[in-house]
Amino acid sequence: MNRPEPYSNRGYTSADIQRLRKRHRGYQLTLAAEVLLVFCLPLAELWPGLLSLLLVGLAVVLIVFLSRYSLLRRSRLVVYLFGGLAIALEMLWHLLRQLDPGWGVALTVPHVVVWVVFLTLVLLRKVKGLVREPFVTVSVVMGAASGYLLIGIAGGLLFTALWVFQPQAFNLTDLPAAGSDAAMGLMRTAPALMAGAMNLLTTAGTALLNPRNVTVQVISSAITVAGQLYVAILIALILGRFHQRRG
């Protein structure tokens, strides 16, 4: 017995319904990849390469499922470009941090800049796509939640870059022991920094930050404000579009 199509009586063709399903599946898989990254952070302390692997997997999911089936087509090539660069730089940065820490430090700034630009582009596309959704469903809510988590992941990357240049910006006693190997020390502290950014995103706060360092305080404030603005702006856009349709 065939299951009735929920949109069949609302002017949607079979092709429209298939695209809608694929787009909503992309929302679900994106959120699943981000939740997996967050819950695997304790394991990433034990296996330093796991966080980089999870970030690469997240970038692949964002490129394949979000951009490919997005309602927006203009900036798709730009997302592909920065997504590919983010994946390449993540692998190269992880490798150079172990082979030659000096080159790893030099690559930190472009590595983080590319990642933040890529995540920002994905976030903007996600917000624009969510606003254009015809109906608010569970999948659409999951897509909105995945955009919220992207802000925390971007904040964790910023904290990682700051730790490379200013480790005194953090309370080292509250971070995992770095040891004598600087490269392995960064890989062990990166999951804790990512978790700290997630705590700031939810306004729970974190004890990892040094209150005397201005840079880390600015980044932490930006993470918290960006998270709250994302929720407020998304709700305002969705409500505005809903009232526009009713009018």
- Tens of pLDDT, residues 82-110: 999 999 998 888 787 777 767 767 788 89
The answer to whether the CB of 106 falls within 8 A of the CB of 152 is no
**CA-based radius of gyration for the chain:** 20
Residues 67 and 76 sit within 8 Å (Cβ to Cβ): yes
Q: Residue 2: its pLDDT value, please?
A: 43
Please report the pLDDT score of residue 10 as a whole number.
55
Q: Which DSSP helix (H) or strand (E) runs through 242?
A: helix 214-246
Long-range (24+ apart) CB contacts under 8 A made by 239-245 are 241/131, 241/132
The predicted pLDDT at position 60 comes to 93
The predicted structure's pLDDT at residue 3? 46
Q: How many residues does the chain have?
A: 247
Contacts 24+ apart (CB under 8 A), 180-185: 182/101, 183/97, 183/98, 183/101, 183/104, 184/48, 184/98
Low-confidence residues in the chain, pLDDT < 50: 1-6, 8-9, 179-183
pLDDT of residue 233: 82
Distance between CA atoms of residues 123 and 201, nearest Å: 15
Tokens of 20: 């809608």
209: which strand partners? Answer: 170
